[in-house]
Structures are given as C-alpha cells and as structure tokens.
Amino acid sequence: MKHPNWIILVLLCSSCMFSCMEAQQPAYREVVVLKGSPYERGYEHGRILSSKIRSLYTTLLSTSMIPFLNREQGDVESFLEEYQKPLYDDGRFSYEMLLESGQALADELELTHPEMLSEMHGVADGSGMPYDQILIMNTFVDTMLAFRSVTFFIKQLQAPHLIELEFVGGVTEDGVDNNGDGETDDDLDWSVRDYRQGRFQDGYGPKPHAAMVEVPTDARIVIRLWDPPGLASFSGDPDAEPKPGEYQGMDPDTIRLQLDDRVYTSVDCDCIQTRIWGEEDMGLEVVFTPPGGLPPASVVALIVQAGNISEVNNPPPLHARFMRDERVVFTTVGYGKAPHQVPNLGMPDGRSQPPALGFGVRDSASADGLPRLAHHFALLDSNTAHKHSVLFAHEPDDGKAFAVLGWAGIIWGFSGMNEDGLSYMITPSDTMDNPLVDRVRKSIMYAKLLSSGVPVGLKGRRILETMADVGEAEASLAGEPTTFGWNMLLGDAAGGLRVWEMDSNILEEADQGFVPYGPEAGDPANLDEWGMRHASVGEDDLRIGAHFQKNRPDIDTQILIFDAQPQRYWSSFYYRSLRTFLILGEKIDRLYGQIDLAGTIDILRSPELVDSRDSMNAVVFEPTLLMLHVAMGQMPATDGEFISFHLPTLLAGGVTE
C-alpha cells in the first residue's frame, strides 16, 4: 500500500449507507489523508488545516479551558507554594502549568517515541503556529484531567460528606444479610458500611449495587453528614483560622433528597428533621421519613445533596460548597435479591449528562457474527471541538496504515482502526492515582503539577501503527506508564475483545496500573467476587463507561493529611457513568444476537446514552470489513449521519459510496 509521498484532502461527499440521498457535508467535518514520514505527515496536517488549528487553539484553549482552569489557582496555591510565584500571576497560571506539564511529557517521549514529537513539529511548521502551542494541544487533555481530579478532590474535601447511613424503626431481625457484609442480623445489619481493602469498615461507602435489601416499608432513613474544617489544616497549623470559602458549618436548609422521582427539601417538607451532630458540631444528622412509606417489593433510589454555609465567590456569584449528589439504591421487603444482584441504576436526575461510552459485539451477539465496535466520545466540547472534527487517515513510510478520529492540530484521537482491523476506543476514568498526585506525595509543598507517562492518544497511535491484534497489543503495552485513569476497549478482525483499565500506579503495587479483562466467563480474571462478568451481558460483548469496573480498589493511601480514595468516593462522573453503563448493558441484552450495523448505530443514538452538551464525535468500526462509519461535525454527534469509509479505498484516494 506504499505510494510516493503525497496528500489528499477528501471532503465528505459520500452517500450515507442508510440513505439513497447524497450526504451534504456539514461545515464542521472533513477527512485528511496523510502519507510519508512523521514530519511530512505533520507538516501537511498543519498546512491544510492551519486556520482550523488556530481556531481550535483560540476557542477551546485560550478563551475556554485556560480561563476556566485559572479559577483553580487559589485552591492549588493554598497548599502548593510553587504556584504562588510571580510566573503564575496575571492569568498565566493554567497556561504555564499546561506548558510545563507538556514539556515534561515531551522529555519522556524524546526517549520513547521521538517520531511523535517530529510529527508535532511538522504540524507547528505547517500551520505557522508556535511549537509550544501545538505541544499543549496534544498533551493538555492528559494533564487537564489529572489536574481536574486533584482540584475536584480538594473541593470535595471542603464540602459535606455522607459518612453514615442507617435504616431505623420497624426493623427487626429477618434472617437476611441486609447490607451484604457476610453477617446476618448483627448490630450493623441496617447500616450501610464502607468496603475497602477487602474488608468492611464502619462508615458509609458508595456502592455499584444496592446498599441495603429487604428494608421494611415503614423504615426511616438516618443520614449523617460531616463537614471538614477546610484547607487551613493544609498549613500544618492546628490553630489556623479558616480562610474565606473554608468551613463555617453545615446548612440544614440545603438538604435536598430525591426518592425515585420525588424531591423533598428540608425547607418545605416536615418529613425531613435535622440536628447538629458529631465531633465539635461539625456534622448534621438528617432523619427522613418517606411520606406514605416505601413501596413494597421494589427497588428504590435515594439521592442525597447538602451544602455548608461557606461563602465562595470563585466563580461568582456567591455560593456555598455542595457535596456531589450521592446515590443510594436499596430494596424493600419482598424483592428477594441479594445486594450484589441489584445494580445501582437509579432514576434520571434531570441535571447530569451521560459520559463517554463504548461497546463491542461479535459472534452470538452480532446479527451476522461480524465483530463491531461503537464509540461515542463526550467530554469538553465547549460548543467548539465538534466544529474542528477531522478523520485522519495515515499511510506512514514505516508502519501500518491507520485512521484516527480527532481534531485539527491534534495528531491522535480517542478512537481508531488500522489496516489489520485492530481498533481501539478510549474513555477517561477519574483517579487520584495519577502523576500530579504522585508529585504532591513526594515533594509535598514544593511540588509542581507535571504529568508523566505516555499520553493516552499516543498510546492508541502506537497500537495502530505497530500491532496486528488485541493479544499482540496487550503483550506489548501492559507495562507502559500511563498519564491518568483510562478505559480502553480493543477489538480486532478475528473477534478479539478486551478492556484495559489503566491508572498510573504511583504506589507501584503488583497487578495494579494495568487491569485487563474480556467477556469470557471461563477465565476467572473476567469475573468479580460474586462470579459475575465485569462488563458483559454474555460471551460475545464488552463495554466501557467513564468509571472502573474491575479496578475498583484504584488507590487508597495517605497524601499529606487526607486520604486519596478510589474514584467511586469522589468522582463527579461515577454515578452518571454507572447509570449509563447499566442502561447500555440493558440495550445490548435486549438486542443480543440481532445487532447489525443499523442496530449498533441505534444503540449509540439512544437518548439515555447521548450527552447533548459535550458530545464530540461517534464512530462504528467493522474490523473484518475494514469499514469505519463516522458521525462528526454536529451537536450531538449522533444526530448526524454516519458516513461510511472503507480504509483501503480511502487511502487510495477514493471515497465509499
């Protein structure tokens, strides 16, 4: 498939395979075919897309992400002295931080993947943009997500926490292990307890399944919240006075409970009673008596929200600090299932959006036995990224031909397929097990927030350029360092399906950092502690959301004075990803054995699975046929047509009809 070095710009004028009408090219999508050395491909990428690269940098980074991240400087500099220096003043904090982190990643890439840097230099030269800006564009996602995890975790440290939950009144010994802790009718059977490090502990812990089962319909729910003292404690001075925005006390008037689809507040419902509780009056006890009792033999979802009376003005207007919405699922008497058999699906909350997702089917799950992989990526569109969407098809001088779905100026994408049919798709997965946290752990007050490892998009690029199938990719990349928490779903032309759950493994623990699994029930590595598949309906499907399914231990250690907990304890993505993941599984199950190309696209377009605010692109891969079906350039991406491409035809200068 080798030709002289040249480039073809192919506009999307092909027909959608589901319509006899000619597809009209939206203003915001195009295809670029690149051939030659890394630098040559980068140069032509930059030359042809120069205006779009400048536009993406200006609209997504300069006017959106950089100002947004600048808001976090106050929290960061309060415990990292490095960011109190003049270099980071006058709105330069986030730009300098992203550049320094990008340069740290580039130093590592110089030793491991210098061809990637050569391609970035080509993009810079071809577009006429400074190399530093191209470097930031290609590394900011890895740094930003790790940074966001750190700052969101810090914010949650200063907000109320749900630390105890108990069902009381009308509760008697019933011969059931109600909370799934292995004990029946013990003193704590009606308390929701934490489960970490392979053991139950006192105190509340978020669950991917029911927290309690067989609850009497007349039970009351006691919720105990605790509000920490704030970041004054980071100074190490126990007598330090709270600064503006730090702990000032719980606010009973902010209690908001959603029981299934009904909302109750402490202001307008006497079914909620509160009292000050806990050490130094830093807690609040909330007693909720569901009006009319609980429905019998049912799955019930409770969402808890509360704030304190801190006065935070960044960003304006003045507001309190609120905990994330905490979702607890339980069953009532007569439902008859154990906690692990009841998924924490919950109800629509009317506020949050589904995160990125992906799934693969083959053999018995597929209508014709062919493997198919589908991906809808959503994260930070900011009404911008989708307008700069590009399908890049590469034919390198050295390596396999491939295509990635990405954006102008960025040499990688969150999904792609190569000439052998090997395909991948990536979703983020919040974790404190990342290089930024590691630097804080090792350097404490003098740490700089620098990333390390191989940026996830470049990891995907290496897979496509050098690997032929899923097994080869896993054998090669299992030990490669990772920049953050990521889920990667891979499939190949022979029907191989595999998920990798990855984090940075900063504690260097055995069997951590790279956690793979597949759908086959015959392999114990693919099953959880109850013998259930991690992420499959049957033997021939696999799916990912934006949370860990197998890597649930994640990280649990002491950093400075606080506990770095697994993602399920603090991530803002966790509950909505869990709900999306479960709904996706239901849809795959309903169509098992009937999932053809049209059915795959229909699943992607399901309203419950579509982020209508930050959708960025969507794709279906058919590895055996070397077909890509791409939706991009509109919001949400899945509202548009899926335009079909045959990879060899595309590389040869044609388009698919």
Task: Identify the CA nearest to 242 among candidates 307, 312, 305.
Answer: 312
Asked whether residue 488 falls in the same domain as residue 578, the answer is yes
Residue at which a domain ends, from 323, 346, 369: 323
Contact 417, 423 (CB under 8 A): yes
Asked whether residue 262 falls in the same domain as residue 380, the answer is no
Q: How confident is the model at residue 319 (pLDDT cuts 50, 70, 90)?
A: low
Residue 105: strand, helix, or coil: helix
Express each pLDDT in 327-374 by its tens digit: 999 999 999 999 999 999 998 877 789 999 999 999 999 999 999 999
Assign 3-state DSSP to the chain and report helix, strand, coil percentages, each to 5. 30, 25, 45
> Does a structural domain hold residue 198?
yes
Burial of 154 (0-12, 13-18, 19+ CB in 10 A): middle
CA 345 to chain CA mean position, Å? 17
> Does a structural domain hold residue 332?
no
Contact 23, 643 (CB under 8 A): yes
Express each pLDDT in 251-272 by its tens digit: 888 899 999 999 999 888 899 9
Residue 295: strand, helix, or coil: coil
CATH code of 606's domain: 3.60.60.10
Phi-psi region of 214 (alpha: psi -120 to 50; beta: other; left: phi over 0): left
Over 80: is that where the pLDDT of 575 sits? Answer: yes
> Does a structural domain hold residue 231?
yes
Q: Beta partners for 220?
A: 168
The C-alpha atoms of residue 431 and residue 449 are separated, in whole angstroms, by: 15
What is the longest distance spanned by two Cα atoms in the chain? 80
Percent of the chain with pLDDT over 70: 87
What is the rounded average pLDDT for all residues in the chain? 86
The answer for residues whose C-beta is within 8 angstroms of residue 359's C-beta and 6 or more apart is 373, 374, 489, 541, 542, 543, 544, 584, 588, 603
Asked whether residue 431 falls in the same domain as residue 540, the answer is yes
pLDDT for 229: 60
Amino acid found at 525: A
Asked whether residue 92 falls in the same domain as residue 170, the answer is no
Burial of 295 (0-12, 13-18, 19+ CB in 10 A): middle
Q: How confident is the model at residue 590 (pLDDT cuts 50, 70, 90)?
A: very high
> Does a structural domain hold residue 450?
yes
The answer for residues whose C-beta is within 8 angstroms of residue 619's C-beta and 6 or more apart is 374, 375, 405, 415, 425, 628, 629, 630, 631, 642
Token reading at 255: 């209690």
Token reading at 6: 């040249």
pLDDT for 199: 59
Residue at which a domain ends, from 271, 300, 323: 323
Q: Which domain holds residue 233?
A: 160-323
The C-alpha atoms of residue 173 and residue 176 are separated, in whole angstroms, by: 8
Task: Identify the CA nearest to 221 among candidates 180, 277, 271.
Answer: 271
Asked whether residue 479 falls in the same domain as residue 608, the answer is yes
Residue 630: strand, helix, or coil: strand
> Does a structural domain hold residue 342?
no
Asked whether residue 104 falls in the same domain as residue 139, the answer is yes
Over 80: is that where the pLDDT of 398 sits? Answer: yes
Amino acid found at 312: V
> Does a structural domain hold residue 460?
yes
Over 90: is that where the pLDDT of 376 sits? Answer: yes
Asked whether residue 164 falls in the same domain as residue 144, the answer is no
Express each pLDDT in 190-209 by its tens digit: 888 887 655 566 778 899 99
Asked whether residue 116 falls in the same domain as residue 190, the answer is no
Ranking 311-315, 317-321, 326-330, 341-345 by mean pLDDT, the lowest is 311-315
Asked whether residue 294 falls in the same domain as residue 166, the answer is yes
Asked whether residue 367 falls in the same domain as residue 318, the answer is no
The C-alpha atoms of residue 177 and residue 175 are separated, in whole angstroms, by: 7
Residues 233-250: what's their mean pLDDT? 49
Asked whether residue 609 falls in the same domain as residue 517, the answer is yes
Over 70: is that where the pLDDT of 88 sits? Answer: yes
DSSP H or E segment with residue 220: strand 220-226
> Does a structural domain hold residue 539?
yes
Q: How far apart are the first and last CA of the chain?
A: 21
Residues 448-471: what's their mean pLDDT? 93
Contact 481, 454 (CB under 8 A): yes
Asked whether residue 135 falls in the same domain as residue 165, the answer is no
Domains: count for the chain: 2
The answer for residues whose C-beta is within 8 angstroms of residue 268's C-beta and 6 or more apart is none
> Does a structural domain hold residue 3?
no
Over 60: is that where the pLDDT of 14 sits? Answer: no
The answer for residues whose C-beta is within 8 angstroms of residue 472's C-beta and 6 or more apart is none
Max mean pLDDT range (152-161, 247-256, 379-388): 379-388
Task: Identify the CA nearest to 394 among candidates 20, 24, 40.
Answer: 40
Over 50: is that where the pLDDT of 65 sits? Answer: yes
Residue 313: strand, helix, or coil: coil
Over 70: is that where the pLDDT of 131 sits? Answer: yes
pLDDT for 13: 33
pLDDT for 3: 38
> Which one is predicted more confidently, 468 or 24?
468
Task: Identify the CA nearest to 655 among candidates 632, 627, 633.
Answer: 627
